[in-house]
Amino acid sequence: MESSHHHRIRMAIFDWLSIQVNLHGDVLDWQLLSYAFRYEDQRIPLLGPQGIWKPAIIEKYPLSITTVPESIYQDRFSEENTLHYHYRGTAPNHRDNVGLRKAMKDRIPLIYFHRVIKGKYLVHWPVYVTGEDQRNKMFIVQADSITIPGIDYISDSAEDEGRRRYITTEVIQRLHQRTFREKVLLAYREHCAICSLRHRELLDAAHIIPDKEGGEPVVQNGLSLCKLHHAAFDQNIIGINPDYFVEVREDILKEINGPMLKFGLQKLHFQKILLPGPLKRPNKDWLERRYEKFRRAG
């Protein structure tokens, strides 16, 4: 098992991550993860150049695993909602693979990072290695929500297995949502497409065609909108026509209700939206389909 000293370091890292997620959300910058955490005045990077990462200060067990979608290592989520995490290299007894195998045997909690765009990582902890697929050179990893003070332990009961599958499913869903958001905000250079507001904490990635209607999670089906204009778009108070111009619903144009309505909505009528590069612009067919809903609402 892990020594009490190294366990304290691991728990201190988990506590620090909780603070960062509360401050910034669950997608964190590479620079923060690489340089910001210190333990007794020693900097400890939380992820490294290899997917399986064990900083020098921690003995025996890895600290984190990282998935990079463009990597040669094809990590994947299975139909059973588990992560199949590829070996380091092809040798089963590479020291990194041996470290993960030890973490599996001794039930050591790890951190999972998934790169959503360059320099930004979705983070979840704890995750546990719960099995190994030697034929395909992969470890089976599941997310959990429980970190027991002292020595960590997870059982193989049906209740624990069900909980881990449920939480892993939630992580997969968050991963898809955060990836869509980060790619859309990056395409629009972190501006609202309608009013050019730049504060990313006030920006959303709005779907042109919603998920429930078969919308695809691609940038061309997204708009970077501030929270006011996202809500107005969702409620068909404003629409965006296939030529990329904003239209305000007729009854809203006639309403008198102070400066927020006047400058926040009415003044936008027939204003062209901010557009990303040609390959990432909103799909005109999808805009037309959404615009028809706006017209019917008017």
pLDDT tens-digit profile of 104-138?
999 999 999 999 999 999 999 999 999 999 999 99
**pLDDT of 162:** 85
* pLDDT value, residue 149: 47
- State which of 175, 203, 235 marks the end of a domain: 175
Residue 210 lies in a domain: yes
Same domain, 39 and 82: yes
Q: Is residue 92 part of a domain?
A: yes
Cβ neighbours of 151 (radius 10 Å): 12
Residue 77 phi/psi, 5° resolution? Answer: -95, 135
Average pLDDT estimate for 49-53: 92
Judge whether 65 and 83 are in contact, CB under 8 Å.
no
Q: What angle do CA 239, 116, 18 make, to 5 degrees?
A: 105
Mean pLDDT of all residues in 266-279: 97
Mean pLDDT value across residues 7-12: 95
Beta bridge partners of 85: 139
Using one digit for the tens of pLDDT, what is the confidence trace for 78-91?
888 899 999 999 89
**Domain shared by 280 and 225, yes or no:** yes
Q: Tell whether 77 and 210 lie within a shared domain.
A: no
Same structural domain for residues 86 and 132? yes
> Does residue 109 form part of some domain?
yes
Q: How many helices (H) and strands (E) does the chain have?
A: 8, 14
In a domain, 180, yes or no: no
pLDDT in tens, 145-192: 865 544 445 666 777 788 888 999 999 999 999 999 999 999 999 999
Q: How much is the pTM?
A: 0.89
CB 205 within 8 A of CB 184: yes
32's CB contacts (< 8 A; 6+ apart) are: 20, 24
Residue 55 has pLDDT above 90, yes or no: yes
In a domain, 183, yes or no: no
pLDDT at 147: 57
- Average pLDDT over the chain reads 93
Q: Does the bond joining 126 to the residue before it have cis omega, within 30 degrees of 0?
A: yes
Work out how many domains the chain is built from and give that number.
2
Decide which of 159 and 249 is more confident: 249
For the chain, strand residue ranges (E) read 27-29, 38-39, 42-43, 52-53, 64-67, 76-77, 83-86, 110-117, 120-133, 138-143, 203-207, 222-226, 238-240, 246-248
